[in-house]
Structure 1
Amino acid sequence: MTRPLDLGPLARPVRRSMIAEHPGETGTMLPPLIDHHVHLMLVGPDTLRDTALAGVVDLGGPLDTIAAYARRDGLPKVAFAGSFLTAPGGYPGDRPWASPGSVREVVVEAGDERAALPTAAETAVGEQLAFGASVIKVVLNSTAGPVLDAATLAAIVASAHAAGVPVVAHVEGDGMSRLAIDAGVDAFAHTPFTERLDDALIARAVAAGQCWISTLFVAGYGEPTAEAEIALDNLGRFHLAGGRVLYGTDLGNGEQPLGVNPAELALLVQAGLGASAVIASITDPWPVAIDGAVATFVPGEPPASLDELPGWLAGADLSPAEDLQPYFDLEHR
């Protein structure tokens, strides 16, 4: 008899109650699913309402618009970074997909001795927080323009941390991952894909408690590109070293399915994550708080192999937690 995968402590066998939409249906209950990297300015605020995602993290868009999306009722719940904080003339200010108001240049005024006034970094961070941002996004892309200098980056991180808010960085180009790690950045918006990080730097990231949002699919869109190979290698070693991996797709970047992307999940498996680690990555609440009244329900038998895991998870839907009752299938005990 083929036994299902060990899905880890977050998965529980359940049966739908008799008052549910499909009464008596058996399956697996998981915590709410979250995509930790989306851009609602590109896909729209309503496109994910009928998917299995209970939460999304918007990592860059017009501050007032994304804040308004986050205040709307219903699921998915939206946590957001607000504007991309970047150097003057830096990425993604010149990109046609960057909607007006989505980029905030941080200008440091050299020689300003008005110590009683907020610094440029404090002002930029404060603007995002005033609209309800729960994470601050900085851009370090040396392949597409100037980047924040180390002192300004450190000031942004210090301002965010003083408010109890993490900082996530887009890192692209040689040395950008090291710059972010040196500054104490809490998360990477993408697995580093333009440079291979050495094991010592990865160990520093893990020791600092940094988390990496996967976005492996957009590194090659299913093709075996050099960037995709670099990203897979970096993420595999980060995970093996004990790093915290978060499922994220960069939804809005290229053609992707709405909701759960099985191709992203398959790449997490290819990077070396087991079933329980994949489930942990897509249910990690960073930095979204989802009401415990909602849960994920995946119908049918759990998968018997890692190859089947992505398709199985893609078949999930949302359910009131109270409609899912513990169930024990004696045949598979």
Structure 2
Amino acid sequence: MNGHDPFALRALLGPDAALCRRAITGEQGVSLPPFIDHHVHLHLIDEGPLAAGGIAGVVDLGGDPVALAQRDHHGIPRVAYAGAFLTAVGGYPVGRSWAPAEIAREISNASTHPGVPGGAATAVDEQASFGASVIKVSLNRVDGPVFDPDTLAAVVSSARERGLPVVAHVEGEGMAQLALDAGIDALAHTPFTEAVGRKLTAHAVTAGQVWVSTLAIHGAGDEASENARINLAGFAAAGGRVLYGTDLGNGDQPVGVHPAEVAALHRAGVRGPALIVAMTDPWPSSVAPTGVCTFVAGPAPTTLDEVAAWLAGACVVPAEELIHDDH
């Protein structure tokens, strides 16, 4: 192969990393489990380059539930989705230029009974009926009204009854705490508008809350960037479950593995095997995309500092095409 010690490789990239070659071309490299971007908006991107850029699966966290349900669900990238944002009347992202009316549902009634116009259960049921794997709520106090605790509780309990986790966009002072108090399962972004502190972080870890990274959407070195980095570093160090996610569709970002997001995770202490876990976690599914692997051609990295740039060369290939050479 390339002379790399397979034991050192696994210490650097986790137990599933393997030296291999492609059967057809003979190209040598490293195979990893399929990568997933846990925060994208498919209606805002050309998804065609995702696989060539190393992404085998995505989680759409805000789109038209009808269009998402009509997709071919057998191809790559594998797509899990939340359907529409559930938000307070007039809440984020209603009225935004990037957010057509189809991707938001305004909830005006805390009813947990099905079929109530504007009701919490009605909105949850709609997303579930179109195949949602997770329910997304908007808790953005900066850009509009947010749910009162009773309505938020109704959304969460309705999702629980349907076996669906709830992910929240939290933005503004106190929103991370509101999500935690409501039993929200995941945060669509690492909190960035405030430093959440050790108490909330410890509570989030104990509760099993999951945080999607989205660190690179912030301006380098600005307050939001520093808040997010510090918050994620504390969460990861306390044992929190971190997911790689880019908010793809928000601004000009590469369609594929995002080197700046990987590097930001590294700076926040999510590196080595922990980084690969964050990039391959199948959440909200319990099963990873099947039949494919992430493949990075060329020599394997030898230090942690090389990993972020190296992963930029990833692509998705059929698992059957790879011959493992490190047994």
The corresponding residue for 1:240 is: 237
**Aligned alpha-carbon RMSD (Å):** 2.1
Query: How do 1:187-266 and structure 2 match up within 5 A?
Result: 187-220=186-219, 223-266=220-263
Q: Deviations over 1:187-221 (max 9, x none)?
A: 0000000010110110111011111000000022x
1:85 pairs with 2:86: yes
> How high is the TM-score relative to the length of structure 1?
0.90
Q: Contact 1:174 / 1:194 at 8 angstroms: preserved in 2?
A: yes
The corresponding residue for 2:297 is: 299
The corresponding residue for 1:315 is: 313
Quick one: structure 1 residues 116 and 232, their matched pair in 2 at CA, closer, same or farther if it must change by over 3 Å?
A: closer
The corresponding residue for 1:74 is: 75
Q: CA deviation at 1:115?
A: 6.6
Quick one: structure 1 residues 295 and 128, their matched pair in 2 at CA, closer, same or farther if it must change by over 3 Å?
A: same
Cα distance in 1 for residues equivalent to 2:310 and 2:51? 20
Cα distance in 2 for residues equivalent to 1:46 and 1:100? 25
Q: Deviations over 1:313-332 (max 9, x none)?
A: 11111122122222129xxx
The amino acid across from 2:99 in the alignment is A
Q: Contact 1:28 / 1:298 at 8 angstroms: preserved in 2?
A: yes
Q: Contact 2:50 / 2:56 at 8 angstroms: preserved in 1?
A: no
Cα distance in 1 for residues equivalent to 2:227 and 2:289? 37
Runs (4+) of structure 1 exceeding 6 A deviation are 114-117
1:15 pairs with 2:21: yes
The amino acid across from 2:290 in the alignment is G
1:102 pairs with 2:100: no
Q: Which deviates more, 184-193 or 292-301? A: 292-301
The amino acid across from 1:97 in the alignment is W
Q: CA deviation at 1:298?
A: 1.4
Q: Deviations over 1:156-181 (max 9, x none)?
A: 11111111111000000010000000
Q: Contact 1:86 / 1:106 at 8 angstroms: preserved in 2?
A: yes
Q: Contact 1:77 / 1:290 at 8 angstroms: preserved in 2?
A: no
Cα distance in 1 for residues equivalent to 2:289 and 2:65? 24
Q: Deviations over 1:9-58 (max 9, x none)?
A: 131222333xx2x22x3322111110000001111453535432110000
> Any gaps of 5 or more consecutive residues in structure 2?
none
Cα distance in 1 for residues equivalent to 2:167 and 2:215? 17
Equivalent pairs, count: 319
The corresponding residue for 2:148 is: 149
Q: CA deviation at 1:118?
A: 5.7
Cα distance in 1 for residues equivalent to 2:310 and 2:248? 20
Q: CA deviation at 1:68?
A: 2.2
Cα distance in 1 for residues equivalent to 2:74 and 2:53? 15
Q: Deviations over 1:277-297 (max 9, x none)?
A: 111111110024444211111
